[in-house]
Chain A
């Protein structure tokens, strides 16, 4: 099997087999993280753009580390320093960075669909490192890798997601990925953040229910994904923080309702004492630091799959309407 798209814009269009393939290809890189020398020369001479139009520390460092461990060089664009502040359009910025002849374009942007938009204009692979409230594919993959490592499988798990689901690109990527493996979802948070429409966004037939009592959401959960309460979303009507803590915070007492071996994930950065208590975030059921380690492995696999074997001229002409473009099939040499 090979990865058949030129870009990684979303997990929604990928099949269970394709997702499994990416996770499998992440495993050799998990081993690399344990090596005393972690530097490969696999992508030597290649350049990866890290265009973070929206602030991010963790994801940018993770992609940067992944690129560097594969031997690639990186070009960094950060929101504060970017010429967007000077009124340049996204397209102009992307075209200018592309004129420096990089081999891959990793981008985060506050607009949903921004990576899709850039991919329609660039010929090099585009990796979506988070677009608005749409998707965060590498986060979805690293969550799945962490779950698979801990649970031994991704099949038929009860997955509970807590927080502001409607504005979460992480939740969407989780649903699109885990839904393809038969997982059942319980989405929980204040009603303004958990609209009923969410029940219909998963892969066909995926059981998704929205509940508004955290106790109901935790019952029988195999995996609990706690989202960051986005205090920076100022345009949204804010909920009183005390109300959120009172009604939805994941604490030790509430954790008793989940399965004994329930796994806790958090995409970070954690607001300790708000969406989750420190004792739960740091407890044995929490996998938050494994997520971070796996993030580097998954991103190495993504860069490997998009950049290796993709020589010039193998990209088919751009297609319309934001569909991801199939890459010419390349056969494994083994």
Chain B
């Protein structure tokens, strides 16, 4: 038994924003009542959440845990510990491991490792095509039965419109969302950042915003053709957002996510430091404004980190030779509070929604604080001052542009299945 008392409970599902105590019994929520109304059972542990926000467990629907295959960069154990420290209670790991998670045995391997070593829940995403090579459809049905929550060829787009159409058709019948890394690979070929004044100044090859939005347009039209659930991963460009908005207005089952780095940084922030290199690359100032708008008005469904660890030796190279991607877990909530809530762009409730019910809905799950629901809870502070020191990260990697950054507010405790897996 664990009693979380004196907290301010925020639950987007029930639109609750009130002082409540929550009693957890084992892996489930046992009771929710106004502060002080739950009498303490014998032997119950107490978490005093005075001055803190108590929310449903955060979900990060786009992460890379690197296991199997690239354990020098991350493992399920280290990655999920970093996730716990970021306030996440569940993460969806992308299939671009080595080997690619394109069959049920890899899916089960990941699920087993997560069960044995994971600090938070791990919901695998299966490859859409065999080896994510864009040729044949992967054994999606078998992977579904093994526990995948979606399919994606993340790291690259589903190679051809024809295959994307077939996968969407198939996944509609399997009730799985298709998550698309939207990129026109010919427009993006050789590029290491967004094309613009900054890339021109730095002499770094750039890809235009259209490298993303052209593919989003393709997929939105295919979603219309197939009726599939399409989710655009790490959406970065205004033109892409406009496509998603159009799709939603027309009743299509299209959703999208935005990363903390895209709503925080822009191409003008890029230096030759490879910690500023990710795909999609940091976008233009106008794109960031559009993302803020989309996060506020509901066009964006989820904040997802695209946590992409790379061991230091891989990132400590020339900018153009570095792999894409940065760490995301531990700074996500701090950045969301700073960029979206403290700045007044979003209500606190809306931000929590983007971390909880938003991604849950995309994945066809529920996320709420209610009796007998899973005891997955994220407790965070709005005002605790702290500084991110990447050397102390739980991740095996160090590739964060936010090293040394000071934050106001962040995770206070992460509770998964009734257990406190992280406490600040």
* A–B contact, 8 Å CB criterion (strictly below): yes
Of the listed stretches A147-155, A192-200, A218-226, name the one at the interface; the rest are far from the partner chain.
Answer: A192-200
* A133-B318 contact in complex given A200-B197, A235-B190, A322-B271, C-beta closer than 8 Å: no
The residues of A that contact B272 with a CB separation of less than 8 Å are 112-113, 116-117, 322
The residues of B that contact A135 with a CB separation of less than 8 Å are 203
Chain B positions 195 through 223: 1 when the CB is less than 8 Å from some CB of chain A, otherwise 0: 11101111111000000000000000000
Structural contact, B317 and A91, CB atoms closer than 8 A: yes
* A197-B197 contact in complex given A113-B272, A132-B203, A132-B320, C-beta closer than 8 Å: yes
Structural contact, A112 and B204, CB atoms closer than 8 A: yes
CB distance from B261 to the nearest CB of A (A): 16
Residue A34 is within 8 A (CB to CB) of chain B in the complex? no
| CB-nearest residue of chain B to A132 | B203
CB distance from A149 to the nearest CB of B (A): 28
Structural contact, B273 and A195, CB atoms closer than 8 A: no
Selected from A12, A114, A320, the residue in CB contact (under 8 A) with B318 is A114
Structural contact, A111 and B318, CB atoms closer than 8 A: yes
The residues of A that contact B204 with a CB separation of less than 8 Å are 112-113, 132-134
Structural contact, B320 and A111, CB atoms closer than 8 A: yes
Structural contact, A89 and B317, CB atoms closer than 8 A: yes
The residues of A that contact B205 with a CB separation of less than 8 Å are 133
Residue B361 is within 8 A (CB to CB) of chain A in the complex? no
| CB-nearest residue of chain B to A121 | B316
Selected from A89, A172, A200, A321, the residue in CB contact (under 8 A) with B203 is A172
**Bound Cα distance from A111 to B321, whole angstroms:** 8
Residue A166 is within 8 A (CB to CB) of chain B in the complex? yes
| CB-nearest residue of chain B to A167 | B203
Residue A16 is within 8 A (CB to CB) of chain B in the complex? no
Residue A109 is within 8 A (CB to CB) of chain B in the complex? yes
**Bound Cα distance from A186 to B273, whole angstroms:** 32
Residue B319 is within 8 A (CB to CB) of chain A in the complex? yes
Residue A103 is within 8 A (CB to CB) of chain B in the complex? no
Residue A275 is within 8 A (CB to CB) of chain B in the complex? no
CB distance from A267 to the nearest CB of B (A): 15
Q: How large is the interface on B (under 10, 10 to 19, 20 to 34, 35 or more residues)?
A: 20 to 34
The residues of B that contact A109 with a CB separation of less than 8 Å are 318
**Bound Cα distance from A197 to B268, whole angstroms:** 13
| CB-nearest residue of chain A to B205 | A133
Chain A positions 319 through 331: 1 when the CB is less than 8 Å from some CB of chain B, otherwise 0: 0111000000000
| CB-nearest residue of chain B to A89 | B317
CB distance from A107 to the nearest CB of B (A): 11
The residues of A that contact B321 with a CB separation of less than 8 Å are 90, 111
| CB-nearest residue of chain B to A135 | B203
The residues of A that contact B203 with a CB separation of less than 8 Å are 112-113, 131-135, 169, 172
Chain A positions 295 through 331: 1 when the CB is less than 8 Å from some CB of chain B, otherwise 0: 0000000000000000000000000111000000000
Selected from B201, B273, B320, the residue in CB contact (under 8 A) with A201 is B201
| CB-nearest residue of chain B to A166 | B200
Structural contact, B271 and A112, CB atoms closer than 8 A: no
The residues of A that contact B317 with a CB separation of less than 8 Å are 89-91, 117
Structural contact, B318 and A198, CB atoms closer than 8 A: no
Q: How many A-B residue pairs have CB under 8 A?
A: 69
CB distance from A189 to the nearest CB of B (A): 14
The residues of B that contact A133 with a CB separation of less than 8 Å are 203-205
The residues of B that contact A197 with a CB separation of less than 8 Å are 195-197, 199-200
**Bound Cα distance from A321 to B319, whole angstroms:** 12
| CB-nearest residue of chain B to A109 | B318
* A112-B197 contact in complex given A132-B203, A135-B203, A322-B272, C-beta closer than 8 Å: no
Structural contact, A321 and B320, CB atoms closer than 8 A: no
CB distance from B203 to the nearest CB of A (A): 3
**Bound Cα distance from A131 to B272, whole angstroms:** 11
**Bound Cα distance from A132 to B206, whole angstroms:** 14
The residues of B that contact A131 with a CB separation of less than 8 Å are 203
Selected from A91, A166, A201, A321, the residue in CB contact (under 8 A) with B271 is A321
A52-93 CB contacts (< 8 Å) to partner B? 89-91
Name which of A90, A113, A133, A197 has the most chain B CB atoms within 10 A of its CB. A113
Structural contact, A112 and B320, CB atoms closer than 8 A: yes
**Bound Cα distance from A322 to B275, whole angstroms:** 12
**Bound Cα distance from A116 to B203, whole angstroms:** 13
Structural contact, B202 and A113, CB atoms closer than 8 A: yes
**Bound Cα distance from A195 to B197, whole angstroms:** 10
Selected from B199, B313, B318, the residue in CB contact (under 8 A) with A90 is B318
Name which of B190, B271, B313 has the most chain A CB atoms within 10 A of its CB. B271
Structural contact, B318 and A117, CB atoms closer than 8 A: yes
The residues of B that contact A113 with a CB separation of less than 8 Å are 202-204, 271-272, 318-320
The residues of B that contact A321 with a CB separation of less than 8 Å are 271, 273
Structural contact, A201 and B200, CB atoms closer than 8 A: yes
| CB-nearest residue of chain A to B192 | A112
B166-207 CB contacts (< 8 Å) to partner A? 190, 195-197, 199-205
**Bound Cα distance from A91 to B318, whole angstroms:** 9
Structural contact, A201 and B197, CB atoms closer than 8 A: yes
CB distance from A168 to the nearest CB of B (A): 9
The residues of A that contact B195 with a CB separation of less than 8 Å are 197
**Bound Cα distance from A195 to B272, whole angstroms:** 21
**Bound Cα distance from A112 to B196, whole angstroms:** 16
**Bound Cα distance from A237 to B190, whole angstroms:** 13
**Bound Cα distance from A132 to B196, whole angstroms:** 17
Structural contact, B201 and A112, CB atoms closer than 8 A: no
Structural contact, A112 and B202, CB atoms closer than 8 A: yes
Structural contact, A322 and B273, CB atoms closer than 8 A: yes
CB distance from B93 to the nearest CB of A (A): 29
Structural contact, B200 and A117, CB atoms closer than 8 A: no
The residues of A that contact B196 with a CB separation of less than 8 Å are 197
| CB-nearest residue of chain A to B269 | A321
Structural contact, A112 and B319, CB atoms closer than 8 A: yes
**Bound Cα distance from A125 to B204, whole angstroms:** 24
The residues of A that contact B202 with a CB separation of less than 8 Å are 112-113, 134
Structural contact, B319 and A117, CB atoms closer than 8 A: yes
Q: Known pairs A117-B319, A133-B205. 15 more at Cβ < 8 A?
A: A91-B316, A113-B204, A116-B271, A131-B203, A132-B203, A133-B203, A135-B203, A172-B201, A195-B200, A201-B197, A201-B201, A320-B273, A321-B273, A322-B271, A322-B273
Selected A-B contacts with CB under 8 Å, 16 pairs: A111-B318, A111-B320, A112-B203, A113-B202, A113-B203, A116-B272, A117-B317, A133-B204, A133-B205, A134-B202, A169-B203, A172-B203, A321-B273, A322-B271, A322-B272, A322-B273
Residue numbers of B with Cβ under 8 A of A are 190, 195-197, 199-205, 271-273, 313, 316-321
Residue numbers of A with Cβ under 8 A of B are 12, 89-91, 109, 111-114, 116-117, 131-135, 166, 169, 172, 195, 197-198, 200-201, 235, 320-322
4 tightest A-B CB contacts, nearest first: A113-B272, A134-B203, A133-B203, A111-B318
